[in-house]
A and B are shown apart, each in its own frame.
Chain A
Amino acid sequence: MILTLVGVSNGTLHESARRARGTGADIFFRPPGTSVLSSLSSSPMSDKLPAILANEPHVVLATGTIVQPLELFDSITGFDMDQFAKMSGGFRFVQGGLPVQDTDLIVDEPYAREKHLQVGSTLNLISHQWRVSGIYLPGKAARICVKLAVLQDFTGNPHRLSQIYLKIDDPDRAQAVVDALRAKYPGYQIYTMEYFTSMLSVNNLGLLRNFTYVVIGIAMIVGFIVVFMAMYTAVLERTREIGILKAVGSSSGLILSMLMRETLLLAILGTVLGILLTYFTQWLMLHVVPNSLVQETVYAWWPIAAGVAIVGALIGAIIPGIKAVRQDATEALSYE
């Protein structure tokens, strides 16, 4: 359970980073006053800006997008399809193609699978009816894309952009270009793609990190209690067996060491089983809700989860174990 939770939070972020890289952009340009990570900004940049930025030294290409958040983890992104295709190398469609009509939209494959969409399917988003014109391979910045102008219209933000992607001639000079742009456009949030993706890790996301810690903490406590209680009752039920062992002459130390060895083995087996289970939940998430949560295997947490299981099991076993070996053999024998 602990491993699943850690895996989900890490995986979801890494997936975001992967998608961001899929844009093919080198630099990220956002209006002042937004957080690095939110894609939920209002859209205060003029759509004249990309043309201006494209004339900056080293900038090859500049394309603006507008992002409209939907419920939960999804958002809908408006692209200048031609410009974006030039920057990212274009969408790779498995079905259909680019939007033709204004109310056409394209989605990535996992989203289509989750929502059972085909080319020609219709769906209702931000109070408009849309028709799916294409389904593309994932990893391209967004999951639901429409024409830029259409989304600007529908959201009441004509000629406004929420972020601009820049492509430069030499990706190794991204940081230098960012520095130059920062000097020229003070207040704007300008980052290299590298920096942006590095921000997308669990440890850099304050709120999400705290949330994850709370959830993991609860999972650890619950896991500990479950293991502890299971061992406690299991050993209590074996009080009689411990009495038998005493009656045939085994010392308390021998009984406890046998008990500990058995418990340790059990805890290790349980941990291995738990790890296998995370692979199952991973598979489950991939096939049942591919769009919202991505679970990763976080190897660093294996020993932590194993530690919780082993410590919980040993403490759960030793308490009734000591109780049983301390009491008179005749009493332990009469335990039903």
Chain B
Amino acid sequence: MSETPIIQVRQLTKTYRVGDVDVQALRGVDLEVSRGEFIAVVGTSGSGKSTLFNILGGLTPPTSGSVHINGRDLSHMTNAERTNLRKDTVGFVFQKYNLLPTLSAEDNIKIVKYIGGHDTEFDAPFKEVLNLLGIADRLKHKPRALSGGQQQRVAIARAIVNRPAILLADEPTGNLDSQNSAAVLKLLKDLNERLGQTILMITHDEEAAAYSHRRVHMRDGQLL
């Protein structure tokens, strides 16, 4: 099982069309990730990191090349199939936490369970995860009553509640101070080590990248 990579990307390109101008965000990316890896993607702003993640997570379709996640080919999926992929195979964590402002932390997590077609009660292992994340006692609060670090930890809980095969974190510490950053990074590492969660994380920060097993560098739409 661990022989086949969980993510397999071949000659992936993505071209955005902005008016009459083509922006080549990705120019032939090759990447393999094994189950249980914790990978940091590092690179300057505009190098195409977020674009790669959005394609891996099925938020945008690729222009050419192939992307296999858990053995399924993304490049031939319809919109609805990619939506289904996000439901159970991929979890997202964003730089701007992207919690629903009108729902409590708990309901932000539960609505994702509901969307995923699961019972909305938290099971014992997940309650342990909430303890690990240190937000078990903050669940009744609305996002605006939580600190940035707490919001990001709720967002991580939301991203893994449906037990996705991979967790994609796009600059998860970009809005956090160094103390909260360290806490969130340590949590990601814990999740990776304890649950075997496969994690891909984008970061600017070499220090953050040090938490990962492996770093890949990106420049001008290509991995070095």
How close is A327's CB to chain B, nearest CB, in angstroms? 11
Out of B84, B100, B116, which one reaches A244, CB within 8 Å? B100
Chain B residues with Cβ under 8 A from A233's Cβ?
Answer: none
Contact A254 B115 (CB under 8 A): yes
Contact B94 A250 (CB under 8 A): no
- How many angstroms between the C-alpha atoms of A241 and B101 in the bound complex? 8
Contact A248 B86 (CB under 8 A): yes
Residue of A nearest to B113 (CB): A248
* Cβ-based interface call for A246 (8 A): yes
Interface size of B in residues (CB-CB distance below 8 Å): 23
Chain A residues with Cβ under 8 A from B98's Cβ?
Answer: 240, 244, 247, 333
How close is A145's CB to chain B, nearest CB, in angstroms? 62
- How many angstroms between the C-alpha atoms of A274 and B54 in the bound complex? 46
B interface footprint on A237-272 (CB within 8 Å = 1, 0 otherwise): 000110011111111101000000000000000000
Contact B59 A247 (CB under 8 A): yes
Residue of B nearest to A333 (CB): B98
SS class, residues of chain A in contact with chain B = helix
* Cβ-based interface call for B87 (8 A): yes
Tier of interface size on chain A: 10 to 19
Contact A328 B60 (CB under 8 A): yes
Q: How many A-B residue pairs have CB under 8 A?
A: 52
* A241-B100, A241-B101, A330-B54 as given contacts; A250 in contact with B115, CB under 8 Å: yes
Contact B101 A248 (CB under 8 A): no
* Cβ-based interface call for A329 (8 A): yes
* Cβ-based interface call for B92 (8 A): yes
* Cβ-based interface call for B80 (8 A): yes
* Cβ-based interface call for B88 (8 A): yes
* Cβ-based interface call for B35 (8 A): no
Chain A residues with Cβ under 8 A from B59's Cβ?
Answer: 246-247, 328-330
* Cβ-based interface call for B153 (8 A): no
- How many angstroms between the C-alpha atoms of A41 and B60 in the bound complex? 78
* A254-B115, A329-B59, A330-B60 as given contacts; A247 in contact with B100, CB under 8 Å: no
How close is A266's CB to chain B, nearest CB, in angstroms? 13
Contact A249 B84 (CB under 8 A): yes
Out of B60, B83, B92, B101, which one reaches A250, CB within 8 Å? B83
- How many angstroms between the C-alpha atoms of A246 and B57 in the bound complex? 11
How close is B140's CB to chain A, nearest CB, in angstroms? 20
Contact A251 B100 (CB under 8 A): no
Interface of chain B residues 91 through 134 with chain A (CB within 8 A): 92, 94, 98-101, 111-112, 115-116
A interface footprint on B161-185 (CB within 8 Å = 1, 0 otherwise): 0100000000000000000000000
How close is B150's CB to chain A, nearest CB, in angstroms? 18
- How many angstroms between the C-alpha atoms of A254 and B92 in the bound complex? 19
Interface of chain A residues 185 through 226 with chain B (CB within 8 A): none
Contact A245 B101 (CB under 8 A): no
Out of A241, A249, A330, which one reaches B115, CB within 8 Å? A249
A interface footprint on B47-63 (CB within 8 Å = 1, 0 otherwise): 00000001001011000
Residue of A nearest to B51 (CB): A330
How close is B84's CB to chain A, nearest CB, in angstroms? 7
A interface footprint on B71-85 (CB within 8 Å = 1, 0 otherwise): 000000000100111
Contact A248 B158 (CB under 8 A): yes
How close is A334's CB to chain B, nearest CB, in angstroms? 9
Contact A247 B92 (CB under 8 A): yes
How close is B30's CB to chain A, nearest CB, in angstroms? 23
- How many angstroms between the C-alpha atoms of A254 and B88 in the bound complex? 16
* A241-B101, A330-B60, A333-B94 as given contacts; A248 in contact with B115, CB under 8 Å: yes
Residue of A nearest to B161 (CB): A248
Chain A residues with Cβ under 8 A from B112's Cβ?
Answer: 248-249
Contact B60 A251 (CB under 8 A): no
Best-surrounded residue of B59, B92, B100 (most CB of chain A within 10 A): B59
Residue of A nearest to B158 (CB): A248
- How many angstroms between the C-alpha atoms of A246 and B80 in the bound complex? 10
Contact A247 B115 (CB under 8 A): no
Contact B83 A251 (CB under 8 A): yes
How close is B145's CB to chain A, nearest CB, in angstroms? 18
* A244-B100, A328-B60 as given contacts; A251 in contact with B80, CB under 8 Å: yes
What is B's interface to A at a CB cutoff of 8 Å? 54, 57, 59-60, 80, 83-88, 92, 94, 98-101, 111-112, 115-116, 158, 162
**10 additional contacts (CB under 8 A) given A246-B83, A330-B60:** A246-B59, A248-B112, A248-B158, A249-B86, A249-B115, A250-B115, A251-B80, A251-B83, A330-B59, A333-B94
- What 8 A-B pairs are tightest by C-beta distance, nearest first? A249-B87, A249-B86, A250-B115, A329-B59, A248-B112, A244-B98, A330-B59, A251-B83
List 14 A–B pairs whose Cβ atoms lie within 8 Å, in order of A's numbering: A241-B101, A245-B115, A246-B86, A247-B92, A248-B112, A248-B115, A248-B158, A249-B88, A250-B83, A250-B87, A251-B83, A252-B83, A330-B54, A333-B98
